[in-house]
Amino acid sequence: MSSLSFEKRKKKIMEMLGKFGRVEVQALADEFSVSSETIRRDLERLDSEGKLKKVYGGAVQTRADSLELPFDEKTFLHAAEKAAIGKYAASLVKDGDTVMLGNGTTTIEIIRNLMKHRDVTIVTHSTPTMLLAMEIFPGKIIFVGGEVNVRQKSTAGPLAELVLSQLRVNKAFISAGGVSLTDGITDYELSEANISRKMMERADETIFLADSSKFGKSTFANVCSLDDVYTLITDQHCPDEWKQYLTERDIVVWTAHEEDER
């Protein structure tokens, strides 16, 4: 493998980082049959490009920005992918279902596709989801109160968790802040991660929503390991190797296409 160019080494290094979360200089040198100095230069270059974080003896995944963008700003990111994922998720909701919707600009898209579901009850701690539901959703709406996160326009904390603990639902749809093989599903804020875990606990089935930008990324607070994930919806740009990794772990991966008319 000594003839591999930097670009090919880079591709392999990023694949290994996505899979293991960390790479070691000596192991990479052996893998590519090059000197450890060559690998250090590769890692320095990738660090300067923001692709990874160089640490002693190797490199780790770059942490996603520790501060999440405000809700309104996130709305414009990957909008087409989120709309497709939301539409696919809504197609899984059956008449008579009770559904918990986590906070996020992806889960709010589910509401846009439930306009004919009169016999569905939604439970949410997301203010934008609740307000949109009040306008267009014909079913029952339960809003979970609690401490208000103004930046993310949601509620959390002990009161919100107490309300959720009193309910039992068929499905929970939860947006992932990051999806990593080492860290599992993560969120930007501890309070949001706690709400997500409570929703998982109170739902018969949990479906995670993650657009392709979330893969190989770890954010601040752990929601659950991939061992606790059974179903995930992503978009058509999700890397094939990620679909393969997840499928190998017995996770059902559904792909929502932007032109999807399900």
Mean pLDDT within 154-164: 96
Model-level pTM? 0.77
pLDDT tier for residue 77 given thresholds of 50, 70 and 90: low
* SS3 assignment, position 6: helix
pLDDT in tens, 220-256: 899 999 999 999 999 999 989 899 999 999 999 999 9
Q: Residues 186-206: pLDDT tens digits?
A: 998 899 999 999 999 999 999
d(CA 30, CA 45): 19
Question: What is the band of 105 on the pLDDT scale with cuts at 50, 70, 90?
Answer: confident
Residue 21 burial by Cβ neighbours in a 10 Å radius (0-12, 13-18, 19+) = middle
Structure tokens at 108: 């709010």
The per-residue pLDDT for range 163-180, each reduced to its tens digit, is 999 999 999 999 999 998
Other CB atoms within 10 A of residue 55 CB: 12
Task: List helix spans (H) across the chain.
Answer: 6-20, 25-32, 36-48, 71-74, 79-90, 108-111, 127-136, 158-165, 190-202, 240-248
Between CA 63 and CA 205 the distance in angstroms is: 29
pLDDT at 260: 43
Q: How far apart are CA 259 and CA 84, in angstroms?
A: 8
Residues 6 or more apart in contact with residue 156 via CB below 8 angstroms = 125, 146, 147, 149, 189, 191, 192, 194, 195
pLDDT of residue 181: 85
Q: Which residues neighbour 51 within 8 Å (Cβ) at sequence distance 6 or greater? A: 10, 14, 62
Cα 241 to the center of its chain, rounded Å: 17
Please classify residue 95 by burial: count the beta carbons closer than 10 Å to its beta carbon, then call 0-12 exposed, 13-18 middle and 19+ buried: exposed
Mean pLDDT for the chain overall: 89
Domains (ranges, CATH) in the chain? 6-61 (1.10.10.10), 71-256 (3.40.50.1360)
Q: What is the mean pLDDT of residues 42-67?
A: 79
**Residue 68, pLDDT above cutoff 90:** no
State residue 174's pLDDT score.
97
Per-residue pLDDT, averaged over 64-76, amounts to 54
The secondary structure element, H or E, covering residue 230 is: none
